[in-house]
Amino acid sequence: MDNFIQKSTFRDWTLDKIDEAFNTKQIWEMNALDELLAFEYEVNEMEAWFLKELQSVYQLGGDDWNEVELENKFISPLIVLAKLNDERYSYFLERELQTVIGNYDISGKVDGMIATGYRNPKKPFFCLKEYKRQTDPNGDPRGQALIAMIAAQNLNDNDNPIYGCYVIGRSWNFMALVGKEYAISNVYTCTTDELGDIFRILKGLRNIIEKKLR
């Protein structure tokens, strides 16, 4: 019975289930997340114009978009602007992650993932989950983002932090996982001046990835 492998998908997981299965713990202060959130970056004129245009697009109906529209009309353009890809790593959409941790065979599609490789993902650094609305019936966005991060951590097989984000409409929360501890940021709202903070944090993520790959 000890060798029984239980198969699950990302949608099956909540924060409580993850904590019980993997002995993880949410903490409220984490250097890895604090450093990401505090990254300093001044947008240039072109970036400022694009962010304003992107915000205008969301304000015209973004709260009513489905997940595909949210990804294509807003999230992906923002990540492209942050230049989170080159020949060493890239932003991948709807790619499968699968790994076995203990007695759990975990698999699922990651809405957005930054990983090494440019044709296919290899070692993931960052996992993103987007939801249409706060009341989406298909599970827990925090849990689904975290379980993808745990799968990514297992595939990396090292002690480096894994980062993540879940997006619910206009609301963004960033996450970090170090060992068995994870932290979740306060919310950033893309329809306010905090869009600049979201972009700055994505640039900070790029800076972290570039340092890892040196």
The reported pLDDT for the residue numbered 157 is 76
pLDDT lower than 50: segments of the chain: 1, 135
User: Which pLDDT belongs to residue 159?
Assistant: 86
The pLDDT assigned to 27 comes to 98
Closest CA to 111 of 99, 127, 124, 122: 127
pLDDT, tens digit (0-9, with 9 covering 90-100), for 135-149 = 455 568 999 999 999
* CB burial of residue 113 (10 Å; 0-12, 13-18, 19+): buried
pTM for the predicted model, two decimal places: 0.94
pLDDT at 158: 79
DSSP notation for 154-203: HHHTSSS-EEEEEEETTEEEEEEEETTEEEEPPPEETTSTHHHHHHHHHH
Burial (CB count <10 Å: 0-12, 13-18, 19+), residue 87: exposed
Helical (H) or strand (E) element with 130: strand 124-131
What pLDDT was estimated at residue 152? 96
Domains and their CATH numbers in the chain = 6-212 (3.90.1570)
